[in-house]
Chain A
């Protein structure tokens, strides 16, 4: 039986589809250079100039290090970050252990509650803390009258407390994954050799998660070191690098010093990141293909203790944000404790209320939509094409670089890079800036968010793409179907869990972030997170709480929506069978 012959693709079509791939790769590289590399370079250059644009070399750095009043902030930053890291990781490990190594009921609920801090702007953490432990705080009163202690909220203590709450879910996530990947057979072998539970813990469990532990330590440290929101509220006179940058730039208009501090802020991030990468390379070989997951056995005493522990932490988290919610509903704390929604009307805050809130939602939606497309395409072009390997490698590097760039630095970098009508290079040589018009618009806000949160989305997409059959593109080509067809018809649909995850991540992060946008927003586009900071500055703490709670509720709703959508799609396409 002879099949009628079909003809391959016309030469024109082949040329077009062949050209699209390198064009795509170069465009992707281009946007990364403009969005990531050049602005950071600009900050670095600015740190070597004085405020009039003259090149002064390392003079700014020296001046900083020689002024104890300034350089103490590095030490302070390191101190609070170390404390936060230790507390978060130790307690987080216990929580992750409870989730993976016990038969505690209701783990789904515990997991959901422990993630709540991820949905809140860190400013809210600081504000909630002031409601609990401030001068007129809920708990302060109790502590003072019963035990006579006055917690030193404003300063290191407040910062550490806020950061622990902020970094706790991240530590739990990393350790949860690490503990889940432990091979059951190691435990069986240890038990059959007569090792008791304590010995097993120290010789099998801990070594098995050492990479996860290390990763959690790095991540928590970087997050605490670079966070801006909470320290702004509860920092008091305890100077850290992050708030110093804000003070120098906004308060003193000292951009070069701001640049210097930004570079210093990036230091530990870059270092930790490099070490983390080296460690991760060793970790890749740990999970073998014959891996068997660990199923915990029931053990009443241990399970009850862990249940109390987990419940305690969850109640604490609920109580914490519950206090913020309470504070937003109380008429005038602490004098008139009737509950109502007055503060939710945001009267007297100009554009700070619902206009800011809806601007934030708009910005987050744009960031989610555009960000996901750019991220997924970027990951696809790097992962699935065979041409231009060196350019792709460089693009990969630029794609994971944003992980080390704190939001404040992005904000400052974008001011330098996009705000000036001309780019000068310190020697009188300058070219006009084609991107100047972007400054002050929604565009630059969306761009800063996409860059700020790019790496996580990129790695999520890359991981998902790596799991696909390598030969989809080859098969498609051999049938005369160009790569963008297989991308749309096959690759993206199969990767729907990753696509949804990236979208939600962008949305939630954009809603809650303050560190980049606080430098970039304009009076025309007020944003919720910035409005919270301003309200807190002005003493409208209750309104700040209300707006903060609105953000939290929106984010929780987004996450819930994501979950529902994911389950729906999963059920609809169950016959695909691979998720």
Chain B
């Protein structure tokens, strides 16, 4: 991504609040997007991400807050004045118009002349890889093709903002993967600021320049995919994006040191700030970060666990590890270990295993933070 002209905020959303009856859909939501940036809004159903999209589109009016397009306050503007392109989950293609007519739909009322329109639509069909299919009706196109028609239609009027509401959720996995790359490539080619709503974290991680993670009407984290994944701001984000083991009721006993049951764990001192001495915390570690053997300093953060069962996943095994029987029952850990390693160390069920939790891969959260652990 180049700097210079593209580092100014194109879209700015300030303190948007939206309430439906007595349900708070959005409470004090703010973020900004640069020109040509691809932002994914990620969250579980009901978190308010579609509402946010609709408010930005102008299909809903916020109860309070402001929206700026390129510095201009457009909060009160109707959707027709905002020059946005929208693709809905169901595509909303007009079934009685051909693909060509669908794409040309917005152009017809612009009084551009038939030849100009034809040229434009053909260019768009070419852009989305559907040349020659312009005379087909939506019912005669596959799901992926319909999606691309919807995209071309949204792009027809050269909008300054492209809004996608779960555009890929209606497609099967294979087509979805292919379209992810296509949409991303299209967006980069056209350099149009894009906001995509999704509940699929894999999609968000692979497509977004930035991800906004939403939960219960709030943006709980705003960062790049790497930031979201490696440094999740709360247990909710940690569990929603990828999987995470949560070691609960760990107690801070010293600088960057925690007591978890019978084990003493050391964490990265930089991450230790939020928890006071003697207070409880939740420590998180991702299954793929847990190591068996090949460790530089085997005495720190190494735990002897008992292998409960192994679940074969092809390239790796999901190993369920029992830690100890504590007051609240069994404590356990899930680890993703490459198949090669399992074979090398001959890991079997119901045997002890020494596992290592690397210091830099542990996340620490204060005990009462983000109480919505899934």
Contact = CB atoms under 8 A, between A and B. Distances in A.
Contacts of B94: 472, 486, 489-490
Contact of B110 (A6, A11, A493): A6
B81 A11 contact: yes
B59 interface: yes
A474 B127 contact: no
B87 to A, nearest CB: 9
B189 A480 contact: no
Contact of B123 (A3, A11, A482, A489): A3
B79 A575 contact: no
Nearest to B124: A3
Contact of A577 (B59, B82, B90, B95): B95
Interface in A519-547: none
A124 B156 CA distance: 61
B80 A14 contact: yes
Nearest to A13: B80
Contacts of B83: 7-8
B189 A578 contact: no
A1 B95 CA distance: 29
Nearest to A575: B137
A479 B157 contact: yes
Query: Which one of A7, A18, A475, A489 has the highest number of Cβ atoms from chain B below 10 Å of its Cβ?
Result: A475
Nearest to A577: B139
A477 B78 contact: yes
Given A8-B81, A478-B57, A480-B109, A576 B137 contact: yes
Contacts of A474: 57, 59, 79, 86, 88, 92
A489 B104 CA distance: 13
A485 B109 contact: yes
B79 A477 contact: yes
A469 interface: yes
A3 B120 contact: yes
Contacts of A477: 59, 78-80
B110 to A, nearest CB: 6
B94 to A, nearest CB: 5
B182 to A, nearest CB: 15
A8 B120 contact: no
Contact of B158 (A4, A482, A573): A4
B127 A1 contact: yes
A384 to B, nearest CB: 13
Contacts of A6: 106-107, 110, 112, 156-158
A1 B140 contact: no
Interface in A465-498: 469-472, 474-482, 485-486, 489-490, 493-494
A504 B176 CA distance: 46
A389 to B, nearest CB: 11
Contacts of A472: 92, 94
Interface string B110-130: 101000000010011001000
B366 interface: no
A560 interface: no
Given A3-B155, A5-B158, A480-B109, A475 B120 contact: no
A479 B156 contact: yes
A179 to B, nearest CB: 30
B260 interface: no
B105 A481 contact: yes
Contacts of A2: 190
B86 A478 contact: yes
Contacts of B158: 3-6
Contacts of A438: none
Given A3-B158, A18-B78, A575-B139, A478 B84 contact: yes
A477 B109 CA distance: 12
A9 interface: yes
B296 interface: no
B96 A1 contact: no
Interface string A537-579: 0000000000000000000000000000000000001011110
B347 interface: no
Nearest to A11: B81
A469 B88 CA distance: 10
A67 B83 CA distance: 72
A494 B81 CA distance: 28
A18 B61 CA distance: 15
A576 B106 CA distance: 20
B106 A480 contact: yes
B189 A1 contact: yes
Given A1-B123, A480-B109, A9 B97 contact: no
A523 B246 CA distance: 88
Contacts of A481: 105-106, 109
Contacts of B84: 478
Contacts of A478: 57-58, 79-80, 82, 84-86, 154, 159
Contact of B92 (A14, A475, A577): A475
Nearest to A474: B59
Contacts of A578: 95, 139
Closest 7 pairs between A and B when the two form their complex, measured CB to CB: A479-B106, A577-B139, A471-B92, A6-B157, A471-B88, A5-B158, A490-B94
10 contacts: A1-B123, A6-B112, A6-B158, A7-B83, A11-B81, A469-B90, A478-B79, A479-B153, A480-B157, A575-B140
Given A6-B157, A6-B158, A481-B105, 20 more contacts: A1-B189, A3-B190, A6-B106, A6-B107, A14-B78, A14-B80, A14-B81, A469-B92, A470-B92, A471-B92, A472-B92, A472-B94, A474-B57, A474-B79, A474-B92, A478-B154, A479-B153, A575-B137, A577-B140, A578-B139
